[in-house]
Structure formats: C-alpha cells, structure tokens
Structure 1
Amino acid sequence: MSNRAVLEVIALDAGDAVAARSGGADRLELVTDIAADGLTPSRETFARIRAAVDIPLRTMLRLADGFSAGTPGDVEALLEAAAGLRAEGAEEFVLGFLDDSGGPDVATLERILAEVPGCRWTFHRAIDRTADRDALRKQLADLPGLDTYLTAGSAEGVDDGLDTLVAEAGRKGEPGYEPCLLVGGGLRLDHLPALLAAGIDAVHIGGAARPGGWTGPVSADAVREWRRAIDA
C-alpha cells in the first residue's frame, strides 16, 4: 500500500464490506447494533465478512452502550467474545473502557488484551469522554498492540474537537502520542483540508457512507467520494 491516508469504514455485514472495499476503503470496523454506537458482532458475521473481502478488519469488543465495561459478569462475557473472535481468525480489534473516575479502565483492558495476544487495536471514542485526554494516553502508552486512537477531539464531534485534533497531531512522537489519530465522529468532507494539513493520516466514516441512513447499506459511490477527497 502507498503512504496515502487510511480510510476506515464501518461495516455491519458482508454486503457493506464489499461495497466499502470497492469504493476504496483501506480497512473496516466491524460492529453490530449501531443504535448503541456499535457493539460486538457475532463470530458468524465476522467469518462472512472475512470471506468476502481481503482488507484489514478491526472488530469491536463492546457488549453494551456506554463506556463502562460493566459488571464482573459483563467483563467475563467480553473475554469470552474476544477469545471466540480470535479463534475465528480476528487479528485486529477496537475497544476502550473508562472507570468510575473517568480514567481508563486499565485492568479490564489488560484482561481483554491477554485473550488476544499479538493483536493490534484501536482505543475508541472513550478518549472523548475521559476526564483527562493527556493522562489517559500516558496511562495506556505501554499496553501491547495499541496503535490507534479513534477520536473526534470532543464528545460533541469533530466540529467541536477540531482544534484539539490539530494540537494532538502536532505532538506526534511524544510519549503517549505515538499511536495513529483516526478521526471520526460527526466528520464531514469539509473538515478534511484542515485535518490533512495538520498531518492527520487516517479517517473513519459510518453514516457518511450510507446515503439512505443506517437502515440502508454502505454505498460504494459514497465511499469513493471520500477516497477522492482524501487523496486529493
């Protein structure tokens, strides 16, 4: 692959995956239940999507809406889901949980990562809800496999978080700032020039790839429009 910016698209099923791939997506985020902001898909769904496309897949590990890992029983269910997906062939994941104080739930993250050793992963938009973004990054810096933060810069979306994203992009390489910034959450095409100029080289779209809304499929043409805008 060239050093062009990465375009990641949310896929709910194999049809979405094929359309996103044909439109120029570099990677897919696999989720179910978008009404809850994306939860863990089944092993069967993962297997169907894996058979349908040859691009990297990042699979969500999240069983309930919100940014808490939940009860001890919920955590056990997460561990079981992670192990099952790994056994199915999943190699990349998306996860992220906060504790009651608004900091990262490092203990739960470490337990889940132990189920998927050697896998790369994205810490998702829980970073936009944390009490202290900089502290969170430094607390997570030594976790194995963390190579990406999915963030809008703000819980309110990219409109509100643009300055934060540009500032964090300028800290690339500092301790805690080595992972890629993957920008998503209310992202629009008109945000791209400022983000790309700041050195951000990965974007994430969900609803923007679905002209008919979340009840409709991914449109290869919509993905292609983003691909052209990023590459331009």
Structure 2
Amino acid sequence: MSKRAVLEVIALDVEDAVAAQAGGADRLELVTEMAADGLTPSAATVAGIRAAVDIDLRVMLRLADGFAAGGPEGAERLVRVAGELREAGADQFVLGFLDADGGVDRDAVERVVAALDGCSWTFHRAVDRAADRDALRKQLADLPGLDTYLTAGSAAGVDEGLPTLVAEVRRRGEPGYDQTILVGGGLRLDHVPALRHAGIDAFHIGGAARSAGWAGPVVEGAVREWRRVLDGE
C-alpha cells in the first residue's frame, strides 16, 4: 500500500465544505452549476468557504460548458476572474482548455497560469477528451504550478479508463508524467482496491458524497465511508 490517499470532494457551498471536512476530506474542489459539469463559483462563495474550513481548496476556472476557453476574450475574462478569486483567498485552482481539434489550447492555458503567479493547479478532465493525451501532457510539462491531472482515464469514466490510469501511473518520472493522478469521473468504491494496488493515491468524488445526488448536500457519513476505504480500514 502506498502513502495515505488524498480525498478531494466537490463543494458547492459552505454546508458542503463543512460536511466534507468533517468526513475526512483532504481538499475541496469549489464549483457551481453542476448541470454544466462545474463552473467558476463566485468570489463571495470562495471567501465564505475559506473562512469556514481549513483544508486546501482548489477553485474551478471555467466560465462556460465545454472545454473551450472562448478565444482571446474568454481568456481575458478568465484572467480577470482568477485575480478576483485570489483576492477572495483562493490559492489553488482547476482549469483546462482544448482547441477545436482536441489539442490543448496552450495560449489560453499559459495566459491563465501566468495570472496565477505560481499557484498550484489541476488540469481537469479535459485531458479525457483530448485527441492525444500523451502529447497534451508533454506540451504542459513545463508550466509552473501544474501538479495534478484530474482524470478518469476515459471520457466514458473510470470503468473504461482503468487500464489507461494504470499505464500512466507506471510512467512516473517520464517527461509530462510527474504530476499526481487524481482519479475522478464515474469513480466507485469498488474501483479503489485496483487503483491503490497500481500506486494511485488521489481520489475525487462529487455525486458519491451526496446521498440525494446533486439535489442534496454533501453527507459527512458518505465522505467518511470513502475515507475508511481509502485508509484500508
């Protein structure tokens, strides 16, 4: 068994954040609008959550559904929003932009990352929709602050992506593969043993932390069950 696993939970508000921390989450991903797969929350929401919990927060930088940055104007908006979020106390982020051909939108990513000024960040599941995962990783390898890929290994989820995840974790040490693999997207508790055995030690849950699905809040007990399984109890 590798080191203690990181458990990241999606939080929409202070109630979610408090319950997730109480259940044993190590980190929160802050978003709004899960109907659009998670967009940037307001600076006020981020500030409120920052005041309510003391675990790490990663804030989504995504202003519209899909994985396009929205051209130069969209990138400018993202830079402006990133500044507002940093003023609200955010110091870790989540982002990822693709072009129309499924390649990484390097220009948009670089502009936003420059505004983060060294903050740690996750490249999210846009990697699962990239035309070439390996090329994307190598193109981003030298960007400051990039320490994590949120991925299911496949756009269809962990069931299909498991072999890809296992293969990628074995490439640690190669250019583009030093970042943590944070597994999320159709992740279930029964996936955990195989992923832990492969050496994966970071896990991301959203709906799985909510007994009523996205219509209800994060449930402390549901998070605690994940913590128990990840800790091998």
| TM-score range relative to shorter protein | over 0.9
CA distance in 2, matches of 1:3, 1:44: 35
Moved more, 194-203 or 96-105: 96-105
Q: CA deviation at 1:205?
A: 0.1
Which sections of structure 2, spanning at least 5 residues, go unmatched? none
CA distance in 2, matches of 1:69, 1:112: 10
Structure 1 counterpart of 2:67: 67
CA distance in 2, matches of 1:78, 1:88: 15
Q: State the identity %.
A: 71
Give 1:106's aligned amino acid: R
Q: CA deviation at 1:3?
A: 3.9
What is the DSSP-based 3-state SS (H/G/I as helix, E as strand, rest coil) of the residue aligned with 1:28? strand
Structure 2 counterpart of 1:230: 230
1:79 aligns with 2:75: no
Spell out, residue by residue over 1:82-128, the C-alpha distance to the aligned partner (whole angstroms, 9 max, x if none). 11101222110000000122111111111111111020000000000
Moved more, 127-136 or 73-82: 73-82
CA distance in 2, matches of 1:223, 1:172: 29
1:203 aligns with 2:206: no
Q: CA deviation at 1:150?
A: 0.1
Spell out, residue by residue over 1:25-77, the C-alpha distance to the aligned partner (whole angstroms, 9 max, x if none). 00000000000000000000000000000000000000000011113322221
The aligned runs of 1:105-184 (5 Å cut-off) are 105-184=105-184
TM-score (norm 1): 0.98
CA distance in 2, matches of 1:211, 1:88: 30
What is the DSSP-based 3-state SS (H/G/I as helix, E as strand, rest coil) of the residue aligned with 1:200? coil
What is the DSSP-based 3-state SS (H/G/I as helix, E as strand, rest coil) of the residue aligned with 2:93? strand
Structure 2 counterpart of 1:12: 12
Q: CA deviation at 1:6?
A: 0.1
| Number of corresponding residues | 231
CA distance in 2, matches of 1:130, 1:51: 36
CA distance in 2, matches of 1:79, 1:118: 14
Q: CA deviation at 1:173?
A: 1.4
TM-score (norm 2): 0.97
Structure 2 counterpart of 1:42: 42
CA distance in 2, matches of 1:14, 1:190: 29
Spell out, residue by residue over 1:130-188, the C-alpha distance to the aligned partner (whole angstroms, 9 max, x if none). 00011100000000000000000000000010000011111111110000000000000
What is the DSSP-based 3-state SS (H/G/I as helix, E as strand, rest coil) of the residue aligned with 2:150? strand
Q: Could you list the runs of 4 or more consecutive aligned residues of structure 1 that deviate by over 3 angstroms after TM superposition? A: none
